[in-house]
Amino acid sequence: MRTSDWIVLILYLVGTVGIGVMLGRKVRSTADLFSAGGASPWWASGLSAFMTMFSANTFVVWGGMAYEHGLVAIMVNLCYGVAALFAGYTVAGKWKRLGVKTPAEFVERRFGKGALHFYTWSMMIYRMVGSAGALYAIATLTIAVTRGGDTAAGVTGMPPELITAILVFGGIVVLYTMIGGLWAVLMTDVIQFIVLNVSVVFVFVLILLDLGGLGGFVAQAPEGFLALTSGSKYTWFFLFGWVAIHYFMIGAEFAFVQRYLCVPNARDAVRGTALFGVLYLFSPFLWLLPPLLWRVQSPIPEGASAEVVRMLKEEAYIRSCKSVLPVGMVGLMMAAMFSATASTISSQLNVFSGVLTQDIYRPLRKAISDGSLLTAGRWFTFLLGVVIAGIALCIPVLGGAEKVIISITELMVVPLLAPILMGLLSKRLNVVALWLTAGICIPLGLALHFGWIAAPQDGGVAKWLYDQSRTFVGVVLPMMITLVAHLLAKGEDRRWRNIVRLQAIEREEVDSKLDGETDNGPARIVGWSMVVIGAGMMCLLPINPGQRLVLCLFALVVIGIGGITLFLARKPENRSES
């Protein structure tokens, strides 16, 4: 990267910490730290949930898939939108009406302390490893670009600058999450959403102009590149399973449930999730088109080895960006990638520090003030950040372990979360369903992923069934077990009464909140941030004489978004929930 790119990236990182410090003034209690005091605007909740799905791995994994397989990568990501809309319609409002402060509180009331500890520690382990992988990815990409390479493939071992990048990036995320809590997570997610999409649209437009428009791309695309499915792996059955997995993830995973709890009322929880879903029904077309278009500009050579294909896939997004971005905009693109990673890490830091503080630590200290709990919550955030950075530093030693963990996670999502979601919807389900689902499906999934169950040597039906077995064990089987447990249960589960009592106490307070009680201060922060970013893009005009028109156009768009946001933030909302 050039000096101007570094200046853009550094100013963005400083601004991110500054926003966290500004929002830290709003954090006076654990409710502010972990649920934004229940006063987050619905649009901030929805955009934050959208960004929680991103990380630097998004550009490498999904960008590589788009480059190799084509349109099916977009189809896979559209599944998130379908899942989010379904989750918003069925469960988002129900979570808010419960009156719980954290999703872990619901697990304890509904299934008991044993279930709480099982879910807390099992989900925390794989989410911390996933966050560490994302941190390692963005640090590696940054060093690769700095060295003049294009991807992580150009960086081997653990050079000192990579360690520094991990510690700096990790430290920035931990710092603004500790100070600003969920408010900082939400507002930086909104800004990150805008920066990411502006950068991606910028790349998309410039590459499309180079190819002579969308028609030129279609004419040059490889055979089968625009098909909706691909091969024996990315089938319609796989897409069904992907929707199901992410319905349970978005509907019951702690980080997403936290987005339903941080808004004033149930309707806002539904609206935020609907925004998340609608955005995912068209945004993949924007941010996955650069690697799709790059396949035409830089095709896979005939007879290329698997290793060459892997490196080309990893390089696709970075190369497509570097080929068209003006001076200074590479830094903004790296800022966008950092933004996506920061969103993932900060969300997990905040949600699990909340669980450790509210549901693990507080019961051990019977008489403790909220101020002391707030301090404990910030310390838990710091300690979890240290753990994530430590795992990230160990990833080269683990070799391919992170890929194994990601695969295992795919099989663990539904077995872990199906009982929670069904426990929200069914008053009959009991804790036995939880232990049966996890006890049967997770060991089977581990056996499949580690190869303890051998694949059939011959083809035909047996081979097809084996290829689909991971989707069956990870999605269909846990759903079947949970459903059967619900049908066989007799009468209302005794722990359901805990939920009924909680709703009776808190429903009036939760449902009486008005949309007008949301805070417009965060919207003003977002608006001014957009104006500053747009003005910064204008400053790049003198050093990009050949691309001034496009750069000026995008700068004006960003400034316009900021201006509209500031205008709307001046108008108080006085609507009541119907």
Written as one string, the DSSP assignment of 128-197 is HHHHHHHHHHHHHHHHHHHTT--SGGG--S--HHHHHHHHHHHHHHHHHHHHHHHHHHHHHHHHHHHHHH
Would you say residue 564 lies in a domain? no
Do 285 and 363 fall into the same domain? yes
What's this model's pTM, rounded to 2 decimal places?
0.76
Would you say residue 533 lies in a domain? no
Classify 468 as helix, strand or coil: coil
pLDDT tens-digit series, residues 243-302: 888 898 888 888 888 888 878 888 888 998 999 899 888 888 877 888 888 888 788 888
Predicted local confidence at residue 402, as pLDDT: 43
Can you give the CATH number for the domain in which 64 is found?
A: 1.20.1730.10
Domain containing residue 91:
3-394+490-518
Would you say residue 561 lies in a domain? no
Residue 230, beta-bridge partner list: 234
Do 301 and 159 fall into the same domain? yes
Do 470 and 505 fall into the same domain? no
**Domain final residue, candidates 488, 505, 533:** 488
Do 367 and 233 fall into the same domain? yes
**Domain final residue, candidates 472, 498, 518:** 518
Do 160 and 103 fall into the same domain? yes
* Confidence category of residue 83, pLDDT binned at 50, 70, 90: very high
**Please, are residues 384 and 154 in contact by the beta-carbon 8 Å criterion?**
no
**Domain final residue, candidates 488, 510, 533:** 488
The label of the residue with tokens 């098909």 reads 227
Do 144 and 221 fall into the same domain? yes
Higher local confidence (pLDDT), 200 or 85: 85
**Please, are residues 51 and 280 in contact by the beta-carbon 8 Å criterion?**
no
Do 88 and 172 fall into the same domain? yes
Q: How many domains does the chain have?
A: 2
For the record, the structure tokens of 390 come out as 């430590």
Do 482 and 514 fall into the same domain? no
Would you say residue 249 lies in a domain? yes
Do 264 and 351 fall into the same domain? yes
Do 346 and 469 fall into the same domain? no
Predicted local confidence at residue 85, as pLDDT: 93
For the record, the structure tokens of 490 come out as 């007799």
Residue 234, beta-bridge partner list: 230
**Please, are residues 418 and 437 in contact by the beta-carbon 8 Å criterion?**
yes
Residue 348, beta-bridge partner list: none
Would you say residue 107 lies in a domain? yes
Do 19 and 155 fall into the same domain? yes
CA atoms lying within 13 Å on the CB side of residue 150: 15
pLDDT tens-digit series, residues 439-491: 888 888 777 766 666 666 666 655 666 666 777 777 888 888 999 988 888 88
Would you say residue 543 lies in a domain? no
Would you say residue 143 lies in a domain? yes
3-state secondary structure 375-425: HHHHHHHHHHHHHHHHHHHHHHHHCCHHHHHHHHHHHHHHHHHHHHHHHHH
Do 484 and 500 fall into the same domain? no
